[in-house]
Amino acid sequence: MKPKILIGTAGSPGSSTLEGIQIIKQKHLHALEVEFVHGIHMSNSLAEQIGQQARKLNISLSVHAPYHINLNSKEKSIIQASKKRILTSCERAHYLKANYVVFHPGYYSSFTPEQTFQNIKQEILEIQDIIKEQNYKVKLAPETTGKINVFGSLDEILELQKQTNCYFCIDFAHLKARLQKDFNYNEIFSKIKPFNHLHSHFSGIEYSSKGERRHILTPLTEIKELAKEILKRKINITIINESPNPLSDSLKTKKIFEDLGYKF
Q: What is the pLDDT of residues 234-250, one digit of tens each?
A: 999 999 999 999 999 99
Q: How far is CA 121 from CA 95, 113, 159, in A?
A: 26, 12, 10
Q: How many CA atoms lie within 13 A of 20 on its CB side?
A: 21
Q: What is the pLDDT of residue 59?
A: 98
| Averaged pLDDT score across all residues of the chain | 97
Q: What is the pLDDT of residues 9-66, one digit of tens each?
A: 999 999 999 999 999 999 999 999 999 999 999 999 999 999 999 999 999 999 999 9
Q: What is the pLDDT of residues 103-131, one digit of tens each?
A: 999 999 899 999 999 999 999 999 999 99
User: In the chain, what are the domain boundaries?
Assistant: 5-259
pLDDT confidence tier of residue 194, bands split at 50, 70 and 90: confident
pTM: 0.97
Q: What is the pLDDT of residue 86?
A: 98
Class of domain 5-259: alpha beta
The answer, yes or no, to whether residue 193 has pLDDT greater than 90, is no
